[in-house]
Amino acid sequence: MSSQDLEAVLAEAFAKARELYAERGFQRRVGFGKKPALINVDLANAWTRPEHPFSCDHMDDQIIPGVQRLLEACRKNNHPVVHVTTCYQNINRDDSYTDMGLWHKKIPIEYCDENNEDVWAIDSRIAPVDGEHVLVKKRASSFHGTSLGGYLRSMGVDTIVVTGVTASACVRETICDGIADGFRPIAVRECIGDRVAGAVEWNLFDIDAKFGDVESVDTCVDYLMGIQGDRSTS
């Protein structure tokens, strides 16, 4: 089955599932808040560039151009931006003290060696500018074991506009933890990717039903342009 055929099958299945969810009171809207931040999850070279084990689809034609639009809107309107990446100091799989924990027993995260910055550096096409935060995580969620929640709360952020990869893992876990921590998660449809056919469609459907709102990049850009950030210093 081609990816196009799979997408058609999923679209039909999700249409019926949306009717079921609507009857049972799911798919409510969390909505946009008053103070957004853009969270770009793992849009680093190991995920955005070809020939890496973590490389994802639709980077050049869809995800990167969409994120560039979101960044432009955030920078024009003083909205916080967090670039999240993943790397490890101790990639020795035989060392029980490795900062990889147990995740290396499932996926090849030892590839993201802190000493090889080119692997985990944010893609140069969406590189951070002065004042934007780069956060290193060790697990799937951008919140788990990091300072992200406190950092966002210190600025009064109530809405996280989330992009990145993968839909089935790090983006999903970030959104689930985001709503659990009291933030309004907005998943940007065109700016979320994966490696496996159907993974984006399924996860965005499920996120939209239970954990956050899935919105188009156009809608998110309009929102970011329509609300002014307050970047003050003390």
Domain ranges of the chain: 33-226
Query: Rounded mean pLDDT of 150-177?
Result: 98
- pLDDT band with cut points at 50, 70 and 90 for residue 12: confident
What's the chain's average pLDDT? Answer: 95
The residues facing 163 across adjacent strands are: 40
Query: Rounded mean pLDDT of 40-66?
Result: 98
Token representation of residue 195: 């490696």
Query: Rounded mean pLDDT of 21-39?
Result: 96
- pLDDT band with cut points at 50, 70 and 90 for residue 233: very low
Point out the residues that are catalytic. 170
What pLDDT does residue 152 have? 98
CATH 3.30.110.30 fits 33-226, yes or no: no
Residue 233: other Cβ atoms inside 10 A: 3
Give, in degrees to the nearest 5, the angle at Cα 200 between 40 and 16.
Answer: 135
Q: Whole-angstrom Cα distance, residue 221 to residue 66?
A: 9
The SS3 call for residue 147 is: coil
What pLDDT does residue 231 have? 72
- pLDDT band with cut points at 50, 70 and 90 for residue 232: low
11 or 100, greater pLDDT: 100
